[in-house]
Amino acid sequence: MSRALIIVDVQNDFCEGGSLAVEGGAAVAGAISEYLDAHHNEFDYVAATQDWHIDPGSHFSEEPDFKDSWPRHCVAGTRGAELHPDLDTEYIDAYFRKGQFAAAYSAFEGLLAPEDAVPTGERQAGGMPGPADGTGAEEEAVGLDDWLQSHDVEDVVVVGIATDYCVKATALDAVQAGYGVTVVRSLTAGIGEDLEDAVAEMELGGVDFA
């Protein structure tokens, strides 16, 4: 039995100064790094996700409702899509990129990026990201669930941004996939005023909190 930490969307656009900033995002980035320094030996694997939008359709809007549509953010290959500099990547084993062509909140919608892909998202010359950006042929795609199962992971701990969207979606999908799931509340940052409702929904769905 293995245990994994899933770090959700700790990216520049979701931290202070970004196009869709979440209050406390940068502090969470630093806190996750400190947590990993102290607790990395408690995890067999560490995975991180990135919103990695190419053309996500109605997910982007000039007049967003901040529920189903949002300002442009985490465009593939841009600085906004890079992991926040305060997030130490030393212990991260794999990166999963999600939302290339549609909205994607859960880490379980992400695809494994190639080992030589840089987590800071440098775009190759010539325009749109290609296979090296985790958007290769479908038959080569590896999802998070497949990756976790291949490493015999049974329990996951979820941290990151945002508590009431991508963290929640990831945690609930992990429960549905059969994992034991814990969210470390102090290592998340949320967007809305209904964070307690999001926490209650996760608890009702079988998620534990630490």
Residues annotated as catalytic are 9, 98, 166
- State how far the Cα of 139 lies from the Cα of 102, in Å rounded to an integer: 19
The position carrying tokens 């100064």 is 17
Nearest 10 degrees: Cα torsion 167, 169, 174, 177? -170
Three-class SS state of 172: helix
| 169: nearest Cα among 110, 102, 129, 85 | 110
36 vs 33, 128, 188, CA distance in Å? 5, 33, 14
